[in-house]
């Protein structure tokens, strides 16, 4: 039973990991853009 439970968790983590990484990258890019806009004005 533990094998089936273990196989489900990595699948969920694999599907969520890229999404989380993209959201973190998007947040960092948005923060840089906001900082640049504030510095320019």
Could you read off the pLDDT of 1-41 as tens digits, one per residue?
445 444 455 565 567 788 999 999 999 999 999 999 999 98
What pLDDT sits at residue 9?
Answer: 52
The Cβ-side half-sphere exposure at 41, using a 13 Å CA radius, reads 5
Q: What is the DSSP string of 2-36?
A: HHHHHHHHHHHHHHHHHHHHHHHHHHHHHHHHHHH
What are 10's two structure tokens? Answer: 């990595």
Overall pTM > 0.85: no
In this predicted structure, what is the pLDDT of residue 40?
A: 94
């Amino acid at each position: 039973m533990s094998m089936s439970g273990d196989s489900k968790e990595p699948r969920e983590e694999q599907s969520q990991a890229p999404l989380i990484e993209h959201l973190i990258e998007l947040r960092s890019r948005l923060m840089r853009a906001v900082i640049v806009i504030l510095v320019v004005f």
